[in-house]
Amino acid sequence: MSGFDKATANEVYYDVSAETVEMCADEYVAISTEAWVTTPLNTDAGSFSLDAQCWNAGPCMLTETTLGPTVFDIQPVHLDNEGPIIVFEKVLAGFEYSDRVGGDIYYGPGPIYVLGHKQRGRSIGTRMTMQEFYVPRGMVGFTPEKQAPNTVIHPPSLIGRIVHAEWEAAFNSAKNSRGKLSSHVFERLAAAIKISLGVNPRREDVRNQSRELLFREIQRFIVTNLDSPDLSVDLVLAQHGVSRASLYRMFDSYGGIRTYITNLRASKAMIGIWQNATQRGIVQSMQTQWAFKSGNDFNRTVRRLFGNTPKRLISRALSEPQNDDLAAGFSRNFILQRWSGVSEGPTGAFT
């Protein structure tokens, strides 16, 4: 078996292939168009770019990427080709909001997101920094016939803390690997993930499970009532019988519940503006629909999140997709693996 040296009967050391990927807007659009209809957004801070560090080791890959901001729509090819890989993602900075057929999804700092089966929809993202763990389905207990869930692993529970600790250890090990990485790094992380997803039988902490279910129900309530001017912290408290202190703790990683609501409203509004960019008065219409009290309030929020005012963000689409020659080799494989789920990955890591 190539690609590693066997140090002991129980421990394997993989060769680590470390790569740097850098792309401008044209390159990103040219490559990602196979899976996404992508529009990089204009900001005062500068032009769109993608910067990624990638570590291939044995059957797995770790990436740390900064990109955006963008709006994008999922292509059918992304839905049809699930591939042999499951992707786990942790957002370090920024957020992405997705309006999907299966429900609204908010990707922000805090949890580890399990990106299982794919759904039709559209998304908008601020400039984001994220870490991703690409792992063969079988390594985390999912056969080709068993569909992986779209779910999250929260840090507050005991197993959640273990998964997050092993996640951090894996990335630290990759960054300091000096060309070799122990298989135990991935085995420990995969084992913790399997337990957290209930792949293996285990005893549950009922109190932690109930708290997570309540949190998800509150999130659903917020999304359902997002366009109502009456949506408030007091309304959430009244509807769910949770203490104010507990509610605030639930949304600590999102910057607070009020920030969470405002960010979702701005995201909904910007998706509506993007879809109807040529419609007269669309900015004011979306501002009103998503319960912003004034144009100044809306403009300040959008600028804070996305780096520019609503009108200027969508003032022009960047270049049409260019020739794939703009980004070749590892960069192209990286994007195809990330968004298309093809079976052949960089340096054969995912076969």
Residue 302 tokens read as 């959008």
pLDDT at 314: 79
Could you give the CA distance from residue 122 to residue 319 in angstroms, rounded to a whole number?
20
User: Cis before residue 69, ω within 30 degrees of 0?
Assistant: yes
pLDDT at 200: 59
> CATH second-level architecture of 207-313?
Orthogonal Bundle (1.10)
Given a cut of 70, the residues of the chain with pLDDT beneath it are: 1-10, 34-35, 45, 75-82, 102, 116-119, 145, 200-209, 316-351
Could you give the CA distance from residue 169 to residue 185 in angstroms, rounded to a whole number?
8
pLDDT at 339: 43
Provide the H-helix boundaries in the chain: 25-32, 76-80, 158-175, 183-196, 206-224, 233-240, 244-250, 257-275, 282-289, 295-306, 310-313, 330-340
3-state secondary structure 184-200: HHHHHHHHHHHHHCCCC
Residues 15-205+322-343: name the CATH superfamily. Jelly Rolls (2.60.120.10)
Comparing CA positions, the residue from 139, 112, 172, 132 lying closest to residue 58 is 139
CB 170 within 8 A of CB 185: yes
Could you give the CA distance from residue 186 to residue 170 in angstroms, rounded to a whole number?
7
CB 134 within 8 A of CB 284: no
268-302, pLDDT tens digit by residue? 999 999 888 888 999 999 999 999 999 999 999 99
Q: Give the number of other CB atoms < 10 A from CB of residue 293.
A: 10
Q: Specify the residue for token string 């959640």.
A: 160
**Domain segments of the chain: what residues?**
15-205+322-343, 207-313
